[in-house]
Structure formats: C-alpha cells, structure tokens
Structure 1
Amino acid sequence: MTATLHRLSPDKVKLGVCCTLWWNDDFPSIDAGISFGQAVSDMALAGFQGCSIGHKYPSDAAELKAALDLRGLSVSEPWTSTYFTVGRMREKTIAAFEETLSHIKALSGTELVVAEFGASSHLLPVDVFANRPVFTDSQWDALTSGLHELGGIARSAGMKLSYHHHMGTGVMTRADIDRLMASTDPELVHLLLDTGHIAFAGDDPLELVRAHADRIGHVHLKSVRPEVVSRVREQGLSFQEGIQLGVFTVPGDGGIDFRPILEALAAAHYEGWLVVEAEQDPNKAVPLEYAKKARAYLADILGW
C-alpha cells in the first residue's frame, strides 16, 4: 500500500457492488435466473458492505431494508434516468426523481445517481458509437438546468446527486464530461466516475480522475476487455452485443490498472462509495466468483 492509499480507509470509504453482476437491468433477457435473495447473499459472502438497487429487488422499502439489514448491507445508490434533452419530459423526469428520492430515504440512503438518456443509443440494436446523440447548445442548457433543479431537490433533502456518464448517451466522452462539469454548479452536481464506461468510450479513467477529482461524488469500479472494445468499435456493434461479448468485467480482470486510479482518489481525499460493477452475462461469468475476485483485488490494493 502506498503512502496515500491509507486515506481510503474503512472509515472514509465503503465498498459496494452492483447487482449487474447477477443480472442486467437494461437487458432483462441477460439473466441466469438468479433470485434477489441469492444475489444479496452472494454480495455479503463476497465481503461487500452495500449494493445498488435492481429490478428484482422488492419494491416495498421496509421489506427491502429488512432483507439487506439481515445480510449487513446498505444501499449504495438508486438510479434515475433523466430526459431533459427531449420534448415534454422535464416534469415527468422530476417526478420520477422525487419518487426515487423518497424510496432511498426510506432505506436510509444518502446518494442519488442520474444519467441523461434522451435519444440514447445504448438500448437500441444499433452501432452504439455512431448513433449516440450529440447535444445542441439548447439541449445542453436544458440538461444543466434540469440537473441544477434535481441537485437542489437532493440537497434540500440532505442527499447528494452524482451524474453518471454513460456509453451511447450525450455525455459519454471526456469532452462531454468536461463540458458538463464546466456548466454545472459543483455544490449541486457531482460526478460519478465510471472507469469502465470512460475506457469503453476511448478515454483514460486516470486522467479523468486527475482532471475532476474535486467533483467526484461516487465511483463505479469496472474494467474492460480491450479486445472487445476494439471489436465493438470496428464492427459497429450495439451496447448489448458488447455486453454479451464481455466488454465489461470486474477490477482485477481486464485491461484497467486500478492502483493508480485509487491512488489518485486517495490523494484527492475522496470519501464515499467505491462500487464494483461488471455488466456481464451471468451464464458465462459466475457472479459470486467475479465478486470475490474483485474484492480480493481491492483488498490487495487497499490493505483491507
């Protein structure tokens, strides 16, 4: 462990895991029949403290909290898709966000994650690179205005809003993220660093950390398989095809070295969730095996 990594101690950061190791929330057909109960038991067995919320989770907050409490888990974040850049969706987006906020408060959570999916190509059976939206200036204005409103709602509720850059969307590349950070209030809009999505997009996750360390409010740690990234780009494949080919994997596997990334986060005195994620086909990649692999890899770097 380096001199700075001690700052990422258990009293400063929490280790979570996304349920996308066990099933896929974007593409429900990518499923091995694993139940909610087995998934959260696997998470606890692998040594994690928390998890994201997925479509197989109980919708009743009391029931979900009891199941997580039983396993010593808490909720790392919920997800809300935003649609500020397309017509007549602002009010619906805000209403959906407020519903999510109410749910996460009932679960004693403090984090909210959003991503703009207006005109996104990631759910479509099309080339994910060639068909992702490029926002106009007016769309950027609509997005930043909407995010400021959501950030204000979150702050008033004592919660933190982080924006998730994502493949196939209008905030996908380093240049997009730079513009979003320059256009938003750091008190209202934080950045969710997703190492896998930025590497898939063709940019360097370490350089992203160094550029925006003071804005990072939440972290998703996932790796990529570079040969699959190249295949998706060269063959014009869809996001779903990339996932099914194994474009994403966990830390400790794939092409990303996480030690310098974690060192950079430690140097910036990051505090919050470090959440392992890998949108893999559970029929090909046994979820518990990969969860344990990631936890062991992080233990080797962090020292705990």
Structure 2
Amino acid sequence: MTATATSHRPAGAHTSGLRIGTAPDSWGVWFPDDPRQIPWDRFLDEVQAAGYHWIELGPYGYLPTDPAQLLDELAKRDLRISGGTVFTGFHKGAEQWDRAAEQVEKVAALTRAVGGEHIVVIPDLWRSDATGEALEPRTLTDEQWAALAAGHDRLGRMLLEEYGLRQQFHSHADSHVGTHREVERLLAETDPRYLNLCLDTGHLAYYGGDSVKMIHDHPERIGYLHLKQIDPELRFEVLKNDVPFADAAIDVMVEPPAGIPDFAPIIEAVAAIDPETFAIVEQDMPGIDIDVPLGIATRTREHIFGCSPLTRTR
C-alpha cells in the first residue's frame, strides 16, 4: 500500500506560493518505452512517496494514454497533471507543422482531458541525442529564426484556441535556443499571447544564463518553471570538450543543493509575478539505476521547501 500524500505534509505546511511538482525525467524517463526505465506504476507510487502532488505526463505513451485509466491511477495516489510535452523543429521548414500538429492531437487532448494547463515545447537538438552526431549547424539564419517564431506563434494559438492550453517554450542544451541572448531573441520575435517560457533553471545555466535576470527582464513571459541545478565546474569541461548533452546530463545535472543556481531567489521572483505558477523539479538523469531517484526526489522536495515559504504542494 502506498503512503498517503498527507503523511508527508509537515506541521505548518506551506499553503501559498509556487506549486511544486516533479516529472518522469527526474526518474530517468526519456522515452515512452524503454525496459531500463522505471515502470510507470512504480513511478507514480514513488512520486506519492516522495511527497509530491503535481506531475507532468512525460513522453507521450509512458503513462497510460486512456484518460479514464490515467485519472483513476492518479486519483489512487492523490496526484494531478500540470502539463504535457511536445517536440518541434519549425526552423526546418513548413513540413514541420504536420509533425507538431500530429503530436498536439494526442498530447494536448490527453493533457486537457486529465486537467492539465500547459504544454511544454522542446525544440529539436542540432545533434543526435542517440549518437552525438551533428545533424545541422549550431546556429540559425535569420530566415530560420523567422520560421521558428512563426511556427511557435501558430502552435501557441492552436493550443490556446482549440484546447485551452498554454504553450511554454523550453530552451535546451544542444538546441538552437539555449543561451540567454537566444532566448531573448525568441521572445522578441514571438507573440506573448501564444508563447511564454518554461524557464528551465538548469538548461539556462548550462550556457551561463541567469534565471533571476531573465525573470526580472521579462516578467510577463515567465509561464512555467523547471527547477534543476548544474555542476558549475563540470559544465565548462563538458562545453570545452564538446561532450553531447545526452552523455553529460546524468553528471552535470546534480542533486540540489550541490549546484547552481540557487532556487530561493528564483522562487521568490516568480511568486511575486504569479503565485499560481508551476515549478516542476526536472533533474535530467537518463539511464539512472531505478532504485536511486526516489531518495533524490524526496531530498530535493525537502530542500525546495526549506529554501522559501513561497512553495506548496497543491
């Protein structure tokens, strides 16, 4: 029998501030189906045991895709869904719209059906996360930037008008939108009605970005958070030696509070903008031993709640 979520709520538990959750990624889940990954039902059990209430869907097909079944499994464990995830490559050309729309038809429909509010959108990487091979140049032309922005505006409008969901763009290591300036260019070229940021604190720091500065400079564009920390020294070894992010992730993304950035000023800055914002713990750990994540997830939640009173489970 799994423990109840209330058994993890300390006396005087926080009741205001950002809604803290977690994601399958924090259990090493990168793919819908991989025999090395933790089974989905054990993942849900451990999320509850770690004291969380909110989770993301993760890769479509990892959790049950039948809404009734998923809602039943969530209810058994007092869990709820914050959002889903899709992957895009609009800079590559017009044909990428069909690929994005095909994902949205499945992911957005399921997300809406189970009460989620957001779709986190991750751009394609410029190199393969399987082989490390460079697939295209690392930077975009002006024409590709225009195509990227137009595609995301169209996608965000579709998500909002047809599903009532918000597009939250996730800058990413080894993608074309990773540095602080690249993120700001995307914001400048897109419509705030249709695209805001899933500000991933680890991926922004991977390229030297400052999450607090991003929040202060663009408060109206911060729609969602992914909380993670990186090893600031190992990051430079990885970048200097051109190690693919997929190979480096499990080492460079470290358990808080061992890395950077500090969570407290980020939490407090976003809570001042909108205390209903989701802040989802997402520690990239592909290939991790399935017995390891529960302890990390529990300690991370405890660390976050110790950082600031502006945090809550619900």
Give the TM-score normalised by structure 1: 0.88
For 1:231, the equivalent position in structure 2 comes to 237
Cα offset, 1:254, TM superposition: 1.9
Cα offset, 1:277, TM superposition: 1.1
For 2:256, the equivalent position in structure 1 comes to 251
For 1:5, the equivalent position in structure 2 comes to none
Question: Unmatched 5+ residue regions in structure 1?
Answer: 1-8
Identify the match of residue 293 of structure 1 among 260, 282, 299.
299
Q: Does 1:50 align with 2:54?
A: yes
For 1:107, give the aligned amino acid. Answer: V
For 2:119, the equivalent position in structure 1 comes to 112
Distance in 2 of aligned mates of 1:279 and 1:266? 24
Q: Does 1:34 align with 2:41?
A: no
Question: Unmatched 5+ residue regions in structure 2?
Answer: 1-13
Cα offset, 1:93, TM superposition: 1.6
Cα offset, 1:178, TM superposition: 0.5
Cα offset, 1:261, TM superposition: 1.4
CA distance 1:199–1:132, change in 2 (3 Å): farther
For 1:43, give the aligned amino acid. Answer: V
The aligned runs of 1:1-304 (5 Å cut-off) are 10=15, 13-25=18-30, 32-55=36-59, 56-87=62-93, 88-117=95-124, 120-121=126-127, 123-126=129-132, 133-156=138-161, 157-244=163-250, 246-280=251-285, 281-283=287-289, 286-303=292-309
Distance in 2 of aligned mates of 1:99 and 1:42? 26
Q: After superposition, what is the alpha-carbon deviation per residue over 1:245-284, rounded to whole angstroms, capped at 9, x for unaligned?
A: x111343332321111112212323432110111124229
Whether the 8 Å contact between 2:202 and 2:230 is mirrored in structure 1 is yes
CA distance 1:48–1:220, change in 2 (3 Å): same
Distance in 2 of aligned mates of 1:32 and 1:223? 24
- Which secondary structure does the structure 1 equivalent of 2:90 belong to? coil
Cα offset, 1:13, TM superposition: 3.0
Whether the 8 Å contact between 2:29 and 2:37 is mirrored in structure 1 is no
Whether the 8 Å contact between 2:16 and 2:275 is mirrored in structure 1 is no
Cα offset, 1:141, TM superposition: 1.2
For 1:25, give the aligned amino acid. Answer: W
Distance in 2 of aligned mates of 1:262 and 1:11? 12
For 1:139, give the aligned amino acid. Answer: Q
For 1:188, give the aligned amino acid. Answer: Y
- Which secondary structure does the structure 1 equivalent of 2:122 belong to? strand
Report the aligned-residue RMSD: 2.4
Q: Identity percentage over the alignment?
A: 28
Distance in 2 of aligned mates of 1:185 and 1:89? 20
Distance in 2 of aligned mates of 1:33 and 1:257? 29
Cα offset, 1:67, TM superposition: 0.9
Distance in 1 of aligned mates of 2:15 and 2:148? 35
Cα offset, 1:32, TM superposition: 5.0
Distance in 1 of aligned mates of 2:290 and 2:64? 26
- Which secondary structure does the structure 1 equivalent of 2:288 belong to? coil
Whether the 8 Å contact between 1:249 and 1:277 is mirrored in structure 2 is no
For 1:89, give the aligned amino acid. Answer: Q
